[in-house]
Structures are given as C-alpha cells and as structure tokens.
Chains A and B, each alone.
Chain A
C-alpha cells in the first residue's frame, strides 16, 4: 500500500544551524511534492512545491530536494531561528491521479536559542 513517512521524533537543533527534515514514500509515483508548516491549533501554511522533473527548489532560507529514485524529499532550513519551531508536513499526489495531496504525519522541529 502507499505510504508517506516522516520522522515522528521531534528534531531539536540549535539556533543558526541547518535543520534537515526527511519525507520518504513508497508505492507512489508522485507528480509533485509539497511542504507545509503547521503551528499548534492552526491550519498548515504552504511553503514550497517541487515537481517530479525538478531536483531542487529554493525560497529564501528554505531548500527542498526531490529524488524520485530514492523516493525521498529533503527539506532544509538554513540559519534556523526559534520562530521556525513548528511541525512540518510533506504532501504528495499520485501521478495521473486526482492531484489531491496526501499528507504525511509531520515532523516537529524545535529550534533552541
């Protein structure tokens, strides 16, 4: 069956370091992959979308890579700040499907001052 896996353990890092979050998937052929940020009690906020034919995408301090061979996406936040502390969700659709994204369970990032 199709599965999206994100590390359920919280990632704790020191301010100023680069945070790297992982999203692995199985039995999918996604056309694209998205990353969202979610704060407690709020809706997810869209950050980046990367398509299957793209290897890397950047936006300010954020970088996403997409390796369809490894079936993995990495999400990097450089020069992390305590305000980056949140849960980060990846979502991907199925190629040729309805383009409805299926979400992973998310990884909590805690940036310590």
Chain B
C-alpha cells in the first residue's frame, strides 16, 4: 500500500512569506501528526489531527497552524516565516494515535532565506 506522501520535497522561501505543506496519510489512518526536525532541537511535535479535529498541540507559536480534511489529508501552514523556521517538516500517520507506532513521510525540507 502507498506510504505517507508529503509535498513538496524541497522549498525555499523568503523571510516574511508564508508556506503551506501537504501530507497524504496511509489510507485508513485517521491520525496525522506533524513534527519539525532541526539539528539543534531534534524532532519537535507540532500538532496532531484526528478526524478533522486538532487533538494535541505542541509548544509552537501561533504562526504554525494546520488542518485536516475529511479524507484525512492534512496541511500545515507557517505564516511570517523566520530564518529559524528552516527545518525538515515531517508528517506521520497512524490508525488511532502514537500508541501503535507512526509511519512517517519523507518530509519537506524548508529553507528560509
């Protein structure tokens, strides 16, 4: 079966712009989580969506937002980009939540210049 698909794979944006990243989970998975990974901080949890509702949220500013559609596809948006937002953004899906293990996508590498 198809894995978790994230688009685009690479993105270069200018400081102050906004960006939208997309994630298509494995078919049948209702939980989609987003993580930010940087060399300095490791994997940091952004938020989790389950059946179109944000179920959990990490400690990130309000510039980071997301949503989930009825087909479980999810998007995350970052507004007013800062240089520090440069990172690998990973989407992970699971049937119900983290207690069954996550399937991660390959990520979107965002570079803010």
Contact = CB atoms under 8 A, between A and B. Distances in A.
Interface string B36-52: 00000011010010000
Interface residues of B, number: 24
Contacts of B105: 43
Interface stretch (A62-70, A76-84, A95-103): A95-103
A101 B98 contact: yes
Chain A interface secondary structure, helix, strand, loop or mixed?
loop
Chain B interface secondary structure, helix, strand, loop or mixed?
strand
Nearest to A103: B43
Contact of A99 (B92, B98, B106): B98
B95 to A, nearest CB: 12
Interface residues of A, number: 23
A32 B56 contact: no
B101 A46 contact: yes
Best-surrounded residue of A32, A93, A100, A105 (most CB of chain B within 10 A): A100
Contacts of B70: none
A11 interface: no
Contacts of B90: 43-44
Interface string B77-93: 00000000000101010
Interface of B: 4, 33, 35, 42-43, 45, 48, 55-56, 88, 90, 92, 97-107, 109
Interface of A: 31-32, 34, 36, 41-46, 49, 89, 91, 93, 98-106
